[in-house]
Structure 1
Amino acid sequence: MKKIPYASSTDILGYIALSEEAELVVQCDAPPLEVITQLNQAECYIDLGHFFAHALPMREAIWWCIQAMRLRQPDWSREEAKLIDDCERWVREPNEGQRRRIESQLEAMKDDSAPKWLGQAVFWSGTGSIAPVDNPVVMPVEYLYAKAVAGAVNTAAVIPEWPSKEKGHRKYYQGAFQIALDIANGGAGTVKQGGDVCHALLD
């Protein structure tokens, strides 16, 4: 995979606390595509969300998260939809002013808001300090953004609740993972979902 060019998944998995179910099926030294297949077949979807979030480069991981949020576009409030749009603008043209504007929107949102965790991923992206403005610079720990990406993707799988919980949950994850695979293979993140096409236009 062009964007996950590792012969072994050992280093990626070193940053992830796998569930007991995932530990039973994953071969840590296997290539990433094999681990992705193992986790998907075992329906260890939360673990697979963490795997993609840590395996993709930072910008691509956040772009994946944006497109995963788009799969639930009708479910977001106006404030959440605006935040997703602002995060997309940041990925296209990263700048400190936009990153700080995204930060300013987070405090008013609930912790169970998936778009909030997307915004947190942008703020923790490692492109600037996470301390208040005018304070000494404090950079985030490695892969902190990836934890927020995984949190957003996995939260969106269950909140807001689906009319048909099991069907919606599975459909969402499979759509999100198709997007992640497309990006991992160097694509733009385009996937058919429920008859619609989600277009990701990452340059």
Structure 2
Amino acid sequence: MTQLIKIQALTADELLKEFELTEPEAADVVIPDTAPQISIERLMEAGYYQDAIKLLAHGLPKREAVWWACLAARKAQKPDTDEHNINALLATETWARKPTEDHRQRCKELGEKTQYKTAASWAATAASWCTGSMTPPGEPEVPPPAYLYAHAVAGSITLASATIDPEKIEDNYKLFLAQGIDLARGGNGMIEGA
């Protein structure tokens, strides 16, 4: 695998401190004192896709991680997707291209309106947790914890994987992981077959 140049963490352990593995057995697969790439690959090979998604989401820079959630949410949208979820995804894509405070606030508003029930909702929430304050304007500022956005990104991608076609969830995980790895290599996540 080509180097994951966008992941700045030197070891998987730096990232593993920020979340719990979904599957306890996955702990036997990761190698904490090596580059995150090694553990991501091993998790994928062992079929621990949710944990590979979590580790990669924590390793990617914020904008790339949110863009990854956008790619998954876009794939999960259907012709009957409601207006709030369509707008949540559009706002999040806008934030990923131009991360201004106004765009972040729009993502926060739409994440709340969509009630955290869809991949688009969690993508918008991820963007809103990247910077700024978690409190409403005018209240004392409370910055989000450093990796809170990554939890929302992983949730968005996992939810998209289950929403598209539950019968093909493993294929969906693999597709989204391929997109995330492309982003980690410096690509745009737009891979063939997506």
Could you say whether these structures have the same fold, taking a TM-score greater than 0.5 normalized by the shorter chain as the test? yes
The 2-side partners of 1:97 and 1:141 are apart by 20
Structure 1 stretches of at least 4 aligned residues deviating more than 6 Å after TM superposition = none
C-alpha distance after superposition, 1:21-79 (max 9, x if no partner): 21121111122221111110111111111111100011111111111212223264332
C-alpha contact (below 8 Å) 2:50/2:158 kept by paired residues: yes
Secondary structure (helix, strand or coil) at the match of 2:78 reads helix
> Following TM superposition, by how much is the alpha carbon of 1:2 offset from its aligned partner in structure 2, in angstroms?
1.2
What residue in structure 2 maps to residue 170 of structure 1?
170
Provide the rounded CA distance (Å) in 1 between the counterparts of 2:50 and 2:27.
Answer: 13
Candidates 105, 125, 137, aligned match of 2:110: 105
Q: In structure 1, what is the Cα distance between the partners aligned to 2:103 and 2:11?
A: 36
Q: Cα RMSD over matched residues?
A: 1.7
Q: Does 1:115 align with 2:120?
A: yes
Q: Residue in 2 aligned with 1:17?
A: 20
Alignment correspondent of 1:37: 41
Instruction: Give 1:92 shift.
Output: 0.9
Q: Pick from 51, 63, 77: which aligns with 1:47?
A: 51
* Distance in structure 2 (CA, Å) of the matches to 1:179 and 1:6: 19
2:30 aligned residue = 26
Return the offset for 1:107. 2.6
CA distance in 2 between counterparts of 1:51 and 1:64 reads 13
- From the two aligned structures, give the one with the greater helix fraction: 2
Unaligned runs of 5+ in 2: none
Q: Tell me which of 67, 74, 78 is aligned to 1:74.
A: 78
Aligned to 1:94: 99
Secondary structure (helix, strand or coil) at the match of 1:191 reads coil
Partner of 1:153: 157
Whether contact under 8 Å (2:72, 2:119) holds in the other structure is no
Partner of 1:201: none
Q: How far apart are the structure 2 equivalents of 1:178 and 1:93?
A: 24
1:165-192, CA deviations, whole angstroms, 9 ceiling, x for partnerless residues?
332x122111111111111111111212
Shift of 1:111: 3.1
Task: Decide whether the 8 Å contact of 1:124 with 1:130 is kept in 2.
Answer: yes
Identity of aligned residues (%): 33
Q: Distance in 1 between matches of 2:115 and 2:105?
A: 19
Q: Equivalents in 2 of 1:70, 1:178: separation in Å?
A: 15
Query: Matched residue of 1:133: which SS?
Result: coil
Provide the TM-score with structure 1 as the length reference. 0.86
One-letter amino acid of the counterpart of residue 186, structure 1 = G
Deviations along 1:136-171, whole A, 9 cap, x unmatched?
Answer: 1111111111111111111112136x2xx332x122
Match of 1:187, as an amino acid?
G
Give 3-state SS (helix, strand or coil) of 2:67's partner: helix
Residue 180 of structure 1 is matched in structure 2 by: 180
